[in-house]
Structure 1
Amino acid sequence: MLTRQLISYCGSAKAVFTSHKGQLLKIPGIGQTLVQNMNPNQALQLAESILKQAEQQQVQLLFYTNPQYPARLKQIADAPCLLYYKGNADLNHAKIVSIVGTRQATDYGKRITEKIVSDLKKHNPVIVSGLAYGIDIFAHRAAVAAGLPTVGVMASGPDIIYPSVHRKTVEKMLESGGILTENTFGTKPDAPRFPARNRIIAGLGDCTIIVEAAIKGGALITADIANSYNKDVMAVPGNLDVKVSEGCNYLIKTNQAAIYTKLSDLEELLNWDEALAPAAVKHSKGLHLNAAEFEPEEWQIIELLHAHKEELMDNISWKVQIPVSRLASVLLGLEFKGVVKSLPGKKFALV
């Protein structure tokens, strides 16, 4: 957050180091200790070392101002400022699904994971998971088998594959997918880094699907984070007598996740079924809105709000790929036309 704050006020990373200390202290959230400890020479030496390692290991450095930085993550307040990415999958692909679950996966969990990924093939999404034992690695392997790009989000540096036994799977993933981390080279996968890793998994996906999960564990943390980001969460129901189904059943029972029983559940939730994108939308006052009567940008917004009832302005921005600065005027125009209404909390819905 402080990095974004500094660059936002100063205009560039270079300007941060060349600005007078008095100017920096006027920036909200920037204190005396931080300013005193800023050392341009030390920072440049570290940056040069990282750039050299990245070049040697074919790792891309994606700063949050980079066009290739995941747009979905830009909408999240605690998103990493810098990502280390190795691979060739598009991190801004039109459709991205995160699949996570317990490390103690059952045969049922494995089978359902493979079926979910196989069924998703018609949509050609990027499959995101965390490279862990159990459901995670089953999701990655199923994606490779289905010919889908898959990205593993790691709690270690880009040069440390953990668990190491998954190295061969990673090699296959790199052919059309990739590995992603916020941690620099040489970083070991210490325990606190896994919950932090989970927020990237939750932030990247249009939806996070929990296949099997105990009542406590990383999968439920990921679901909780996704919900806090206003992201869609789905859970696969499981056997009442099995511990690793307790988490999924709890999420469904408490309305923290929609139930996943078949692909159409996901398609309807995310409006991926082409049949749900009509050329005409019924207005709440009984009128019909026709695509021909609106600009393409306006109709994209109308379709989105028709499918999702209400949306945050930031979510509308990345889902229809219209910059917030431009989106504000488009939404205002739709309000004047009596089609869209603004709600508390920067949300919008059809009238």
Structure 2
Amino acid sequence: MNKKDLTSQEMRAWLALSHVNISVQKLQYFFEHYSSITDLFELSDKQLQSLGFRQGLKEKLESITDSQVDEDIAWFDSDNKHLIPFTSDDYPPLLQQIDSAPKLLFVQGHKELLKQHQIAIVGSRNPTPQGKENSIEFARTLGKSGAVITSGLALGVDGFAHQAVLDKGLPTIAVAGTGLDRVYPARHKALAQQIVEHGALVSEFALGTGVRATHFPARNRIISGMSLGTLVVEAAVKSGSLITARLAMEQGREVFAIPGSIHNPLARGCHALIKQGVKLVETAEEIIEELGALVSWQHEQLFSNAENTKKEPEPFELDQEYQELIEQIDYDTTSMDTIIERTGLEIDVVSHMLLLLELNDHIVSVAGGYQRRSS
């Protein structure tokens, strides 16, 4: 499979394919026999059926007009708009592992964030004041620890989590349930623009796709699929957040839930998850600790070579760059701002390095910053 930049014809072929419902599994089988997605459009209906595609696919492919593809092409009017098929090196490695991986992704913003370790935060569209506060505090702490916060751009918990990290100059990823040429909900248009500038908007849906109820569960599988773990802040017993949690569990990912009052109906979804064995968390540090081994594994193995994902993680080595960072941290509390000032590094780089140092017991996170371990 060609993993380099798409040619003009491949770009047009993938855009045409964005309007057609085809599973990744069938496309993977296709690529075992053909080298380019453009070959798919040259095959007869009989040849397509011999590869496992449904009858009538040829007619469907031919129904996608050049003018329709031209309209899609016109959307890519800047360097921050990307089309990432599942064959691309830019495709999120964790997402590639799930059975229902999308065949392609539209991305607006910083596409490199898709390959960083992510934690999903989801919850009610109408959270309680405590739920709002938890969304903000957990998002900020997890974001400062080096994780990219991923959510669904919805009102409520999603929006609060996105905004919390953006306010601290940290990146966030929003997965949309529509085409990226529109924003839903409309109230989050300004937030979406901030995310484009400092994070990334992601969607599997073709440009021009509007709001459809069935698309949001599909969106949720991408949120959980790209993330090491999913945190449910507040949720009713029947809610989209619980769908995301269930999908995460089916994908073999970690799920966390914040408990609440027995009198709060928005705590009942979290309590139901906890009864099913989901980890109850009271602090963001518990999530960091739980995901520590996975984060180290991902950093050392997953992104260096996707074919080595089944190998054991290599030990964390304290190289010169990390040693120099440790030397800028006092045995007394050293704030994040002080560390950044002393090192001259960007906040996202420092956050990631601090997380790995903490996970490997070289430093400890305390109120107001970090301390070097005397050992």
- Work out whether the TM-score is over 0.5: yes
3-state DSSP of counterpart to 1:62 = strand
Q: 1:89 to 1:34 in 2, by over 3 A?
A: closer
**From 248, 255, 261, the counterpart of 2:282:** 261
Q: How big is the shift at 1:36? A: 5.2
Indicate the residue corresponding to 1:90 in structure 2: 112
**From 258, 280, 292, the counterpart of 1:271:** 292
3-state DSSP of counterpart to 1:90 = helix
3-state DSSP of counterpart to 1:180 = strand
Contact 2:113 2:199 survives alignment (8 Å): no
> What do the CA deviations read for 1:119-156 (whole angstroms, capped 9, x no partner)?
12432221111111111101011011122101111111
Q: 1:61 to 1:273 in 2, by over 3 A?
A: closer
**From 227, 236, 240, the counterpart of 2:262:** 240
**From 306, 310, 326, the counterpart of 1:323:** 306
TM-score by length of 1: 0.74
Q: 1:147 to 1:239 in 2, by over 3 A?
A: same
> What do the CA deviations read for 1:201-232 (whole angstroms, capped 9, x no partner)?
11111111000000001000000001110011
Indicate the residue corresponding to 2:123 in structure 1: 101
Q: How big is the shift at 1:179? A: 1.1
1:222 and 2:205 aligned: no
AA at the equivalent of 2:31: I
Q: 1:253 to 1:37 in 2, by over 3 A?
A: closer
> What do the CA deviations read for 1:82-120 (whole angstroms, capped 9, x no partner)?
211111152334321110001110110111111112212
3-state DSSP of counterpart to 1:55 = coil
Q: How far apart, CA to CA, are the structure 1 residues paired with 2:163 and 2:282?
A: 21
Q: How far apart, CA to CA, are the structure 1 residues paired with 2:113 and 2:60?
A: 34
Indicate the residue corresponding to 1:13 in structure 2: 37
Q: 1:208 to 1:273 in 2, by over 3 A?
A: closer
Q: How far apart, CA to CA, are the structure 2 residues paired with 1:229 and 1:138?
A: 26
Q: 1:118 to 1:81 in 2, by over 3 A?
A: same
Indicate the residue corresponding to 1:295 in structure 2: none
Q: How far apart, CA to CA, are the structure 2 residues paired with 1:169 and 1:99?
A: 16
Q: How big is the shift at 1:260? A: 1.4
AA at the equivalent of 1:267: I
> What do the CA deviations read for 1:51-101 (whole angstroms, capped 9, x no partner)?
222236952111111221211111112111121111115233432111000
* Consecutive unaligned residues in structure 2, runs of 5 or more: 1-22, 313-375
Indicate the residue corresponding to 1:51 in structure 2: 73
AA at the equivalent of 1:14: T
Q: How far apart, CA to CA, are the structure 2 residues paired with 1:327 and 1:84?
A: 25
Q: How far apart, CA to CA, are the structure 2 residues paired with 1:141 and 1:45?
A: 38
Indicate the residue corresponding to 1:30 in structure 2: 53
1:158 and 2:180 aligned: yes
Percentage identity across paired residues of the two chains: 31
AA at the equivalent of 1:141: Q
Q: How big is the shift at 1:320? A: 6.2
3-state DSSP of counterpart to 1:49 = helix
Q: How far apart, CA to CA, are the structure 1 residues paired with 2:226 and 2:305?
A: 18
Contact 2:80 2:108 survives alignment (8 Å): yes
Q: How big is the shift at 1:189? A: 1.3
Q: How far apart, CA to CA, are the structure 2 residues paired with 1:238 and 1:111?
A: 13
Contact 2:109 2:198 survives alignment (8 Å): yes
1:131 and 2:153 aligned: yes
Q: 1:258 to 1:47 in 2, by over 3 A?
A: same
Indicate the residue corresponding to 1:346 in structure 2: none
3-state DSSP of counterpart to 1:234 = strand
Aligned length: 288
Q: 1:63 to 1:249 in 2, by over 3 A?
A: same
Q: How far apart, CA to CA, are the structure 2 residues paired with 1:186 and 1:35?
A: 22
Q: 1:271 to 1:45 in 2, by over 3 A?
A: same
Q: 1:229 to 1:108 in 2, by over 3 A?
A: same
Contact 1:72 1:92 survives alignment (8 Å): no
3-state DSSP of counterpart to 1:175 = helix
Q: 1:272 to 1:174 in 2, by over 3 A?
A: farther
AA at the equivalent of 2:57: L
AA at the equivalent of 1:156: T
Q: How big is the shift at 1:323? A: 3.3
Contact 1:89 1:151 survives alignment (8 Å): no
Q: How far apart, CA to CA, are the structure 1 residues paired with 2:301 and 2:101?
A: 15
What is the root-mean-square deviation of aligned Cα atoms in Å?
Answer: 2.7
Contact 2:121 2:139 survives alignment (8 Å): no
3-state DSSP of counterpart to 1:127 = strand
